[in-house]
Amino acid sequence: MSRLSGNVVVTGASGGLGHAIARAVAPRSADLVLTARRTEVLEPLAADLGARVVGCDLSLGEDVERLISEAGRVDVLIANAALPASGLLLELTPPEIDRMLEINLRAPIALARAFAPGMVERRRGHLVFISSLSGKAASPASSVYSATKFGLRGFALGLREDLRPHGVGVSVIMPGFIREAGMFADSRASLPPGVGTRSPEEVARAVISAIERNRAEVAVAPFPMRLGATIGGAAPGLASAVSRLLGSERIAAQIAAGQRDKR
């Protein structure tokens, strides 16, 4: 039987990636809970999918606790919510950094800690964490973002080993540049010729595949980007030199400028 069934929670459901993920999992879920800060965006989607809405700012501990309480039994958690967290460290204020860390890293850990015991008791369930290829290889103007995504990937892979004996799956999804919706698309940054993108629907299909096949991690990007991220993880100095030649600093600056109002 598929692991994607029962009660499903999708965080960050008001964004483009969240919309695509919610639409993909809705037909497979008995009770779908969508959560984000912008409930006015969630309500029409929830009505269309027959889902419940829980308004929640994941940077606030009390909101996280309320989500845990109102969600009830959870069989599948898809932790998708995140802030761009791009920009030079010296340009970020301490409150901005705190908010980035809370939403991108602490909140997914807190939700996993709350929902995993029930999954362990039932010996079924799945936790999905939307990280990024920035969780394997860092790029300019993204030190805090990379810190959260490296951390989320490490947490997911470690938790996977802890929960494996209990029949609970854990997966991490690592998108590259996603067109049409999401952080990169919202920034309106331009990529060099030959640098490919993927769609929100491809991310959603990767989520379903990860759950149903219990995959440890799935990268959603063209092969050259996946290869570059792997090399970046193994030889960061060499990879950084090559990426600079390809214009990584210009692209990173464009992305940071386009995302500044979303910190």
Report pLDDT digits (tens) over 75-96.
Answer: 999 999 999 867 889 989 999 9
Mean pLDDT of the region 39-58: 95
| Average pLDDT for the chain | 88
Q: Which domains does the chain have, with CATH numbers?
A: 7-262 (3.40.50.720)
Q: How many whole angstroms separate alpha carbon 88 and alpha carbon 111?
A: 29
Where is average pLDDT lowest: 13-17, 147-151, 185-189?
Answer: 185-189
User: Residue 243 — very low, low, confident or very high, per pLDDT cuts 50/70/90?
Assistant: low
Give the pLDDT confidence score for residue 1 in this predicted structure: 39
Give the pLDDT confidence score for residue 138 in this predicted structure: 81
Q: Other C-beta atoms within 10 Å of 96: how many? A: 15
Does residue 226 register a pLDDT over 60?
Answer: yes
Confirm if 161 and 118 have CB atoms less than 8 A apart: no
Give the pLDDT confidence score for residue 222 in this predicted structure: 87
User: Residue 100 — very low, low, confident or very high, per pLDDT cuts 50/70/90?
Assistant: very high
Give the pLDDT confidence score for residue 104 in this predicted structure: 97
User: Residue 261 — very low, low, confident or very high, per pLDDT cuts 50/70/90?
Assistant: low
- Comparing CA positions, the residue from 99, 185, 180, 210 lying closest to residue 145 is 99
**What residues are annotated to the active site?**
145
Mean pLDDT of the region 134-160: 92
Q: What phi and psi, each to the nearest 5 degrees, are found at residue 63?
A: -70, -40
Q: Other C-beta atoms within 10 Å of 158: how many? A: 11
Largest Cα–Cα distance in the chain?
A: 52
Confirm if 111 and 67 have CB atoms less than 8 A apart: yes
CA 169 to chain centre: 17
Q: How many whole angstroms separate alpha carbon 5 and alpha carbon 2?
A: 7
Q: What phi and psi, each to the nearest 5 degrees, are found at residue 219?
A: -90, 135
User: Residue 219 — very low, low, confident or very high, per pLDDT cuts 50/70/90?
Assistant: very high
Give the end-to-end CA distance of the chain in Å, rounded to a whole number: 41
The DSSP secondary-structure symbol of 104 reads: I
Give the pLDDT confidence score for residue 212 in this predicted structure: 95
Where is average pLDDT lowest: 66-80, 184-198, 240-254?
Answer: 240-254
Does residue 185 register a pLDDT over 90?
Answer: no
- Comparing CA positions, the residue from 174, 168, 166, 117 lying closest to residue 149 is 174
Does residue 245 register a pLDDT over 80?
Answer: no
Mean pLDDT of the region 174-188: 75
User: Residue 160 — very low, low, confident or very high, per pLDDT cuts 50/70/90?
Assistant: very high
Does residue 186 register a pLDDT over 80?
Answer: no
- β-sheet with 31-36: strand ranges across: 52-55, 31-36, 7-11, 76-79, 126-130, 169-175, 217-220
- Comparing CA positions, the residue from 146, 142, 171, 183 lying closest to residue 17 is 183
Amino acid at 221: A
Residue 36's SS3 state is: strand
Mean pLDDT of the region 92-111: 96
Q: What is the pTM of this model?
A: 0.88
DSSP assignment of 115-170, as one string?
A: HHHHHHHHT--EEEEE--GGGTS--TT-HHHHHHHHHHHHHHHHHHHHHGGGT-EE
Does residue 239 register a pLDDT over 60?
Answer: no
Q: How many whole angstroms separate alpha carbon 35 and alpha carbon 12?
A: 6
Mean pLDDT of the region 19-30: 94
- Comparing CA positions, the residue from 54, 29, 49 lying closest to residue 39 is 54
